[in-house]
A and B are shown apart, each in its own frame.
Chain A
Amino acid sequence: MEILEWIRLIVGGALLLCGLIIFLIELYGVFHLKYVLNRMHAAAMGDTLGISFSLVGLMVFSGLNFTTLKMMLIVIFLWFASPVSSHLLARLEVVTNENLENHCQNYAELAELEKELNREKEDEQTGGQEA
């Protein structure tokens, strides 16, 4: 039994440490990247993965009880909510920024983008056949 306790400590601690490291990477990304849409990428992905790792580690610590269930609920809720908030923030940025063209390429029509992608794909295919 003692060994099981120690294994639990090690596994949970490793998961919690993973979560903390992911939070650190997220912070680095938020300070390193230059534009808010890029920063959002770091922040949203770090949020989702970091909190999942940390809470899974804490779940391992707490064992099988009601607290674990609630922590699982938090993780599931965040998996629902975090992408939606990122989507809304990206939309806010795209709507309110007047000089968006300085930061990224803007396709007003979706068909334009699809045409370009198709052209690239055809180029690749023809290139592959020739080679």
Chain B
Amino acid sequence: MSEKSAVLEMIYRNMYIAVLVILAVMLFVCLIRAVRGPRVADRIVAVNMMGTMVMVMIAVLSLLLKEGFLVDICLIYAMVSFLAVVVISMVYMGVYAERAQRRRQKYPQGHNREADRAGMQGTEPEKGESANGNS
């Protein structure tokens, strides 16, 4: 009986380690996507995927090491990655809209000089106040 449970233990252990290795390889592939992704949204999607895989890895580790508290860390990780996506996308949208408006003030209708002159007389965008948002 004890021999059989020892066999089970060994199978569990090897399976957990195999799953961890596979997930690590997939994590690396995700990282390639995050580096190569042409747009910002691509990178955030890839990082989000990496977060999900890391969550599974932490859960597997908690069973491998028989430490239940690691699942708490997993929960916190899920929370923080969600928060990161929310905050980054909101900030990026705000910064992009602000830049677009400034560009529209500078070059209305595709670099037309006559139109530029009309635009130059208008209000200059305030630089001091916008420094907060970009940082």
User: B49 contacts which chain A residues (CB < 8 A)?
Assistant: 26-27, 30, 43, 46-47
Closest to B15 in A: A13
Instruction: Name which residue of chain B comes closest to A88, CB basis.
Output: B89
Give residues in B with beta carbon < 8 Å to A.
1, 4-5, 8, 11-12, 15, 19, 22-23, 26, 29-30, 33, 37, 39-42, 44-46, 48-49, 52-53, 55-56, 59-60, 62-63, 68, 71-72, 74-75, 78-79, 82, 85-86, 89-90, 92-93, 96-97
Could you tell me which A residues sit within 8 Å of B by CB distance?
2, 5-6, 9, 13, 16, 19-20, 23-24, 26-27, 30-31, 36, 39-40, 43, 46-47, 50-51, 54-55, 58, 61-62, 65-67, 70-71, 73-74, 77-78, 81-82, 84-85, 88-93, 95-97
Q: How far is the CB of B75 from chain A (nearest CB, A)?
A: 5
Complex Cα spacing A89 to B59, Å = 26
